[in-house]
Each structure stands twice: as structure tokens, then as C-alpha cells.
């Protein structure tokens, strides 16, 4: 994402965390606008520097979108996830 680089495995873990938050019981769900992966205890360490940035929500959203089709990322060996497509 821009000048930032993350491992594919970490981005997949980020997607997993964000997807888990999305599938909570609707009566108990917190608005996705108020959700931050930075609050997750299982967030990969390499994202801690992103959490300190003002644009963290935008970065996490783009990373999550980049791995929506994980087969594409696996086939391209990260090129698609790095925005090289």
C-alpha cells in the first residue's frame, strides 16, 4: 500500500480478523466505521506501525480489498496484492 509493504500471510490474517468482526450477531454489531483492527489482540505485529497513522482505516480497507480474491494473490505470488496488476 503505497510505500508500505506487508507479507501476504499478514494481510490474509488482517482479512480474517476484519471478516470475523463483520459476521457478529447484528444486534450486537458495532458499526464498521467505529471498528479498528488495531483493537484486535491477534493483529500481526507488522501492522502496529500502521495503527499509529491517521490514515490507518484507509490502509486497512485497501489491504482487505486487495485480498478479497485470495486465489488471485496466490497465483500472482503477491503481485496483485502489491497493486502491480
Residue-wise pLDDT for 62-76, tens only, equals 888 877 765 555 555
Angle, CA of 20, 77 and 22, to the nearest 5°: 10
Per-residue pLDDT tens digits for 30-39: 445 567 889 8
Which cell is 29 given? 454489531
Q: Does the global pTM surpass 0.75?
A: no
Spatial neighbors of 37 by CB under 8 A, at least 6 apart, are 14, 17, 18, 43, 47, 51, 60
Return mean pLDDT, the chain.
74
Amino acid at each position: 500500500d503505497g510505500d508500505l509493504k506487508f507479507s501476504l500471510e499478514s494481510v490474509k490474517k488482517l482479512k480474517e480478523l476484519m471478516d470475523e468482526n463483520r459476521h457478529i450477531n447484528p444486534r450486537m454489531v458495532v458499526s464498521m466505521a467505529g471498528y479498528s483492527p488495531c483493537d484486535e489482540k491477534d493483529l500481526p505485529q507488522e501492522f502496529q506501525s500502521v495503527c499509529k497513522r491517521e490514515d490507518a482505516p484507509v490502509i486497512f480497507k485497501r489491504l482487505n480489498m486487495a485480498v478479497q480474491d485470495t486465489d488471485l494473490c496466490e497465483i500472482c505470488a503477491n503481485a496483485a496484492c502489491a497493486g502491480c496488476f
